[in-house]
Amino acid sequence: MKPLTIARIGIIAALYFIITYFLLPISFGAIQLRVAEGLTVLPILYPESIAGLFIGVLLCNALLGGLGLIDVLVGSTTTLIAAYITYRFRHSYIAYLSPIVLNAFIISLYLHLLAGLPYWLTVLSIGTSQALVVFGIGYPLIWYLRRYRER
């Protein structure tokens, strides 16, 4: 692995963690707006961001979240799968939809099971917040990086 690749993994993991940490009050729960999820589209341009996102979510859920091991394992794995799908379908809108759909349905399931939250309302809430950050932050980020990363 090249040093630049390793550096990108670390930078993406750190960015994810720092953004979530500073926006902690709105980053967890049924009604959340985890702004760091805007980074989940980075595998469109940088395959190494798959590992960075996984590590970032793993650290956030382990050190900042309050739902324990299931949040660490299932939440991180959900991000890993979504990031891989984003990379695999990087030339289609599926790349943008995978973090929205997977987080909405999977995270809502364990929030329902662990915290007793209403499943479909939680799906709607998390799906909406994911869509806001993916299309409001992630999409413009990819546009910007595509346009200016060559310079």
Mean pLDDT of all residues in 94-102: 98
151 has pLDDT over 70: no
Give the amino acid at 2: K
Which percentage of the chain shows pLDDT scores above 70? 99
What is the DSSP code (8-state) at residue 23? T
pLDDT band at 150 (very low <50, low <70, confident <90, very high): low
Query: What tokens appear for 91 in the block?
Result: 């030339």
Q: Is 91 exposed, middle or buried (0-12, 13-18, 19+ CB in 10 A)?
A: exposed
- Look at the chain and report how many structural domains it folds into: 1
| CATH code for the domain in which residue 113 is found | 1.10.1760
Instruction: Please tell me the predicted confidence (pLDDT) of residue 56.
Output: 98
Boundaries of domain holding 56 = 3-148
Model confidence at 66, in pLDDT bands (50, 70, 90)?
A: confident
pLDDT at 3: 96
Q: DSSP H helical segments within 103-151, as ranges?
A: 108-115, 119-133, 139-148
pLDDT tens sequence across 13-53: 999 999 999 999 999 987 899 999 999 999 999 999 999 99
Task: Find out whether 71 and 110 touch, Cβ atoms under 8 Å.
Answer: yes
When pLDDT is averaged across residues 77-93 and rounded to a whole number, the result is 98
What long-range pairs does 81-84 form, CB within 8 A, spacing at least 24? Answer: 82/40, 83/40, 83/43, 83/49, 83/50, 83/53, 83/54, 84/43, 84/50
Which own/partner contact pairs does 122-128 have at CB distance under 8 Å and 24+ positions apart?
122/30, 125/30, 125/31, 125/32, 126/30, 126/32, 127/100, 127/101, 127/103
pLDDT digit string (tens) for 99-121? 999 999 999 999 999 899 999 99
* pLDDT number for residue 125: 96
